[in-house]
Amino acid sequence: MNDLQAVLWVARKDLLQEARSKAVTVATVFFSAVTLGVLAFAFGENPLLMREGAMGALWVALAFAGVISAAQSWQADLEDGALEALLTSPVPRAAVYLGKLLANWGLMTALGVLLLPIAAGLYGARLGAAWPPLLAVIAAGTLGFALIAVFYAGLTANLRARESLLPVLMFPVVVPILLAAVRASNALVGSGDLGLAWAWLRLLVGFDLVYAVVCLVLFRFVVEA
Amino acid sequence: MVAAVTRAARTTLAGTPNVAAVELRGLVHGYGGPPVLAGIDLDVAVGRVVALHGPNGAGKTTLLRLLATRLRPVRGHARVLGHDVVRQAHEVRARIAALPVYGGAYGALSGRENLRLAVALRGGDPASPRIDDALARVGLTGVADHLVRAYSSGMRKRLALARLTLADAPLWLLDEPYAALDEEGQALVDTLIAGARDAGRTVLVASHDLPRSLVTADAVVEIAGGQLRVIARPGRPPAPLEARA
């Protein structure tokens, strides 16, 4: 088997489990909907404030949902020694990481695509022609988030206090991703300044590349005892 | 403090290549307190079945996990078929099949899906009819497409045995293979071990069932106080087995 096939088998395994349990889907959709609703309520009835805060609220909802998704992605592996069996397979550690990343990124991107029109409608933001570049920002932003979330979720998977440690460890690292994603999204929806949006998107992709290299190199130390 | 190597067991089989299936030298591992393995030496020749005995916490699972590359030795080294478990971990993993004590299957996948995943990750054909054969051999054909979360612990262990047979690995590392199994299942384990030996595989079995080990194993090694001691050599003529202190 080549490494790409191993990546796809690990991702398939995670997605198949999620399709059956729906643990991540139910938790993240519910949590995101509550977050968007509460923030809309907090902004009050100022339409300008609502419009300007739409993309920020979207990314806050995605970020918190992403933590739930990442933590769940390792849960099934911890049951009945399944992770032990997976890690004694002759598969590169990077393939395990990329497989889990692919599944997690897919779920987060799907959530982002689902939440985008909901946030726009709830906050009165007009997407118009910004749809396609916004999808690119969501894809790049959720990729950066998933890169870090899956890495740190793996790091804390065997710890007793993993639920509390995971956000504490990963949020400081993920801040650049979130800032770039919010700025790029706001530039597209608010001012429609494509040049500014493109600059932030390039920065976002740059962060993704840096985090991808670092996480791939370090992941084997995360899962080695 | 590293305990001195006080005992070692060396198994050699006349006519086999010089490379041992398992070679431990001064192996030390612990979890913060006194070392669980305090500088052990062990050679196991290819094709041998060695049973590991010892009380709970003696280090049987630790030793198997070190050989499976899931733990790193604090000191000393371990080799599997000539490959170092730290520096050549990937090569080692390609040569071992491990049976974890809890089975190691995903509950949200069916038995067949678990085996297809395991076969695919070892580079095999996930559509191979060997998967059906393995399921039949362990008596799970009728529930092959049921989710593993609905399996009993004995059925999960049987599924793990099926995965083991599909691995085609020259070294088997079995952690409590008899646990949770009924009489028929335990007999199946014995049959699989005997078949593995006949096929030239090497098997390390951690078990509390000493009477059974005396029947199935070529050597029974006790782990206690961080040291190894050969306590029985029941299965083969004594000449190929040499214990050295």
Q: Which residues of B touch A82 (CB under 8 A)?
A: 104-106
pLDDT at position A221 is 86
Quick check: B90 contacting A, CB < 8 Å?
A: yes
Rg (CA), chain A: 18
Domain total of chain A: 1
Mean pLDDT over the full length of chain B: 86
pLDDT at position B244 is 37
Quick check: A64 contacting B, CB < 8 Å?
A: no
Distance CA B123, CA B3 (A): 41
Smallest CA-to-CA distance from A58 within A195, A145, A181, A205 is with A181
Distance CA A100, CA B123 (A): 19
pLDDT at position B6 is 27
B35 close to B91: Cβ distance less than 8 angstroms = no
Smallest CA-to-CA distance from A33 within A111, A135, A149, A145 is with A111
Q: Using the beta-carbon criterion (under 8 Å), do B108 and A21 form an inter-chain contact?
A: yes
Global pTM reads: 0.88
Question: Which residue in A has a C-alpha nearest to residue B68's C-alpha?
Answer: A88
Q: Which residues of A touch B96 (CB under 8 A)?
A: 88
Mean pLDDT over the full length of chain A: 90
The H or E element that residue B243 is part of is strand B241-244
For the stretch A191-216, pLDDT in tens is: 778 889 999 999 999 999 999 999 99
- Host domain of residue A69: 3-222
Smallest CA-to-CA distance from A154 within A208, A103, A207 is with A103
- Angle in degrees, CA A208, A209, A215, rounded to 5: 85
pLDDT(B238) > 50? no
Contacts of B125 (CB under 8 A, 6+ apart): B119
Q: Using the beta-carbon criterion (under 8 Å), do A20 and B118 form an inter-chain contact?
A: no
DSSP 8-state secondary structure symbol assigned to residue A13: H
Paired tokens of B169: 């690995």
Of B24 and B243, more confident: B24
pLDDT(A99) > 90? yes
pLDDT at position B16 is 43
Quick check: A46 contacting B, CB < 8 Å?
A: no
pLDDT(B32) > 80? yes
For the stretch B88-115, pLDDT in tens is: 999 999 999 999 888 899 999 999 999 9
Q: Which residues of A touch B122 (CB under 8 A)?
A: 1, 89-90
Quick check: A78 contacting B, CB < 8 Å?
A: no
Q: How many CB pairs under 8 A join A and B?
A: 85
Give the best-scoring range by mean pLDDT among B11-15, B98-102, B203-207: B203-207
pLDDT(A145) > 80? yes
pLDDT at position A58 is 94
Q: How far is A72 from chain B (nearest CA, A)?
A: 13
pLDDT(A133) > 80? yes
pLDDT(A20) > 70? yes
pLDDT(B4) > 50? no
B90 close to B83: Cβ distance less than 8 angstroms = no
Distance CA A197, CA A193 (A): 6
Paired tokens of B214: 């005396």
Percentage above 70 pLDDT, chain B: 88
A10 close to A96: Cβ distance less than 8 angstroms = yes
Q: Using the beta-carbon criterion (under 8 Å), do A76 and B106 form an inter-chain contact?
A: yes
Residues A149, A151, A155, A158, CA torsion sign: positive
pLDDT(B235) > 70? no
Distance CA B146, CA B118 (A): 17
pLDDT(B12) > 50? no
Q: Using the beta-carbon criterion (under 8 Å), do B106 and A81 form an inter-chain contact?
A: no
Q: How far is A155 from chain B (nearest CA, A)?
A: 15
In the block, residue with structure tokens 């706001």: A186
Of A159 and A169, more confident: A169
Q: Using the beta-carbon criterion (under 8 Å), do A16 and B118 form an inter-chain contact?
A: no
Per-residue pLDDT band at A7 (split at 50, 70, 90): very high
pLDDT(B243) > 60? no
Mean pLDDT for the stretch of residues B165-180:
94
The distance in angstroms from the start CA to the end CA of chain B is 21
Per-residue pLDDT band at B9 (split at 50, 70, 90): very low
Out of A35-39, A108-112, B15-19, pick the least confident.
Answer: B15-19
Distance CA A124, CA A49 (A): 10
pLDDT(B200) > 80? yes
Assign A45 to helix, strand or coil: coil
Rg (CA), chain B: 18
Quick check: B66 contacting A, CB < 8 Å?
A: no
Mean pLDDT for the stretch of residues B109-133:
95
Q: What are phi and psi of A184, to 5 degrees?
A: -65, -45
Paired tokens of A62: 């995605």
